[in-house]
Amino acid sequence: MVLNSLQIKAKIQEAVAQVLEKHYSIPYPAEKVSIEKTSPDFEGDFTVLLFPLLKLKIGKPEEIGEKIGKYLQYEDIVSNYVVIKGFLNLTLSDKLWQNFILFTNQEWEQFLNSAHVEKPQKILIEYLSPNTNKPLHLGHLRNGFLGASLAQILKAVGHQVNTVCLFNDKGVHICKSMHAYMQNGCTHTPQEKGIKGDHFVGDLYVQFERLLQEQIETLQKNQGLSKEQAMHQAPAMQAVQELYRRWEAQEPEVLDIWKKMNQWVYEGFEQSFETFGFHFDKYYYESQTYTLGKAIVQEGLEKGIFIQKPDGSVTIDLTSEGLDEKILLRSDGTSVYITQDLGTAEKRYYDFAPHISIYVIGNEQDYHMKVLKLILQKLGKPYAQGIYHLSYGMVDLPSGRMKTREGNVVDADEIAQEMILTAQKMTQELGKTEGLTPQELEKLYRILGLGALKYFLLKVDPQKRMLFNPEESIDFKGHTGTFIQYTHARIASVLRKAKEENLIFSSTFEPIFTAPLEKKLVLWLCFYPEILLQAAAQYSPAILANYIYEGARLFSNFWAELPILRAQPAEIAQTRIILASLTGKVISHAMHLLCIEVPEKM
């Protein structure tokens, strides 16, 4: 029984190999036969590429195509075929499609399981990993949605997946917020101010950066220093460096303030995580892994891989690999980012023993991740080769790039609320609130608002930089999550009416196809397992997101142009109800993998 597009392609590949064996006495591996989905500009469902067969020197591509087409027609795999130069376009038989939708409708779980990988792996995904000196912003949300959805997609195809979050809870950047708080006399709390703890600490960070910028400009003006020189000599920066030294020396006074401020941030993060659906199997803290990183640096020194400079700093020379000399410990013995990353990588390996460790980190850290992997390879770490950097592009605003230190960010909590309110406004304007209770409407607005935000950030290929435009993200007719959600609600409505009217499928029912749109929808459905495998293999939720939109668009046309419940004879109505049901199942399942809810009513 055919379960998906991959099995259909395999059938065609086997048939081509048999034709070559029978007519030309040439053994040809079936898996080498190239098959693609037929271009929308031509008639057909699948296309066999004949050009690669020319190297066999057995005749013109048109002649080979004719023999293959006739054989497939005889085997009742295709109903029609057309040879256009080096392409054999195949239209699959109604019998094959009939069997496909009946079997898929009855054996839904088996259809989904046909997407499982042959060799499941243990995969660890680190995503979000925020600093504890500021709240989450729009850039964090792209990171978080990528990590959360990728975890679901990889699980769906059979991998064993664990997710972790690394809190960047130590370092100079953390000390900046601490310095501002201490300068304010350590007075006030988030509770007194009536704001979330992460916002309270983030405001302190912005306050420090503004002070630092003022000092830099003064030094440049009065002493003629370069910006870099002025930054190092600025009193605020020197105070932060000293504060960081005191932190690593574990001075009680500094640690108490650090713990108190971090706790405020964690409480704020917890609320945001719940809003956006971020869940982790384990949390890591750089404040707990940097000492292990220092031990690994010592290991590298003993092996002669690292170099200790006269000033006491430790580096590694990577110039022969096309990189540069990377510092691993400062001259005062304090750690840097790479130090704690070494420790975290080691700790996670012994906690989970993954085959692959995926780091969801922005592309501004491409160089850093290359250095981390190379250092671990030189140290001979067993997990080094399994490190994969899922590098994603930054999110820009219409006004330009976001900069936390300037306060020019789209706050995650605020954008969530804005999206929910926008969803409410547009839903009310379109009159799609009839028959829903206030509680149902509140839930609907949240589902639509957060769904629109998630889909907008996931539909773009992760590697591409993107521009966030809130007005475009919620559109009941555009390439949006809202359009897909509305399509699902429309399908649910059709199925409810079918149930109310007792339109039940008989055991002897045989689907009937009378319109091209029906077969287009079936063709889309059969590709779902293949799309899942592609999205998993390429670590790209965008592949799945765009596939769902294609299906929603097809069904929207299908619904607008063809009667469903009132179609005659009854077999046509039943065929279309099955198509609606399967489309709804695929949309619901796929959107769930993107961590997006779909409503039953709207």
Same-domain check for residues 83 and 189: no
Same-domain check for residues 77 and 180: no
Same-domain check for residues 83 and 175: no
Q: What is the pLDDT of residue 408?
A: 54
Same-domain check for residues 50 and 193: no
* pLDDT tens per residue, range 210-267: 999 999 999 999 999 999 999 999 999 999 999 999 998 999 999 999 999 999 999 9
Same-domain check for residues 420 and 561: yes
Same-domain check for residues 84 and 196: no
Instruction: With beta carbons less than 8 A apart as the criterion, state whether 120 and 536 touch.
Output: no
Round to whole Å and give the CA distance between 61 and 193: 76
Q: What is the pLDDT of residue 409?
A: 67
Check which CATH number belongs to the domain holding 15 and give it.
3.30.1360.70
Same-domain check for residues 179 and 73: no
Same-domain check for residues 424 and 527: yes
Selection from 326, 396, 338 nearest residue 372 by Cα:
338
Instruction: With beta carbons less than 8 A apart as the criterion, state whether 424 and 445 touch.
Output: yes
Number of domains composing the chain: 3
Below-50 pLDDT ranges, the chain: 400-407
DSSP state of 310: T
489: left (phi over 0), alpha (psi -120 to 50) or beta: alpha
Q: Which residue's entry shows tokens 């799309």?
A: 531
Q: How many residues does the chain have?
A: 602
DSSP sequence for 60-96: -HHHHHHHHHHHHHHTTSEEEEEEETTEEEEEE-HHH
Same-domain check for residues 77 and 190: no
| 449 within some domain | yes
Q: Please say which residue of 92, 121, 144 terminates a domain.
A: 92
Round to whole Å and give the CA distance between 393 and 410: 16
**Phi/psi at 325 (nearest 5 deg)?**
-85, 125
- Structural domain boundaries enclosing 263: 171-269
Strand ordering across the sheet containing 46-49: 35-37, 46-49, 87-92, 78-84
| 523 within some domain | yes
| 537 within some domain | yes
| 398 within some domain | no
Torsion of Cα atoms, 571 then 576 then 582 then 588, to 10°: -150
Q: Please say which residue of 58, 92, 126 terminates a domain.
A: 92
Q: What is the pLDDT of residue 400?
A: 47
Q: Which residue's entry shows tokens 């063709």?
A: 523
Same-domain check for residues 86 and 185: no
Instruction: With beta carbons less than 8 A apart as the criterion, state whether 202 and 412 touch.
Output: no
Element (H, E) at 388: strand 387-392
Check which CATH number belongs to the domain holding 449 and give it.
1.10.730.10
In sign, the C-alpha dihedral spanning 24, 30, 33, 35 is positive
Q: How many of the other CB atoms lie within 10 Å of CB of 352? A: 17
Question: 46: which strand partners?
Answer: 37, 90
| 310 within some domain | no
Q: What is the pLDDT of residue 265?
A: 97
| 480 within some domain | yes
| 373 within some domain | no
Selection from 198, 204, 202 nearest residue 273 by Cα:
198
Same-domain check for residues 84 and 181: no
Q: Please say which residue of 250, 269, 288 terminates a domain.
A: 269
| 31 within some domain | yes
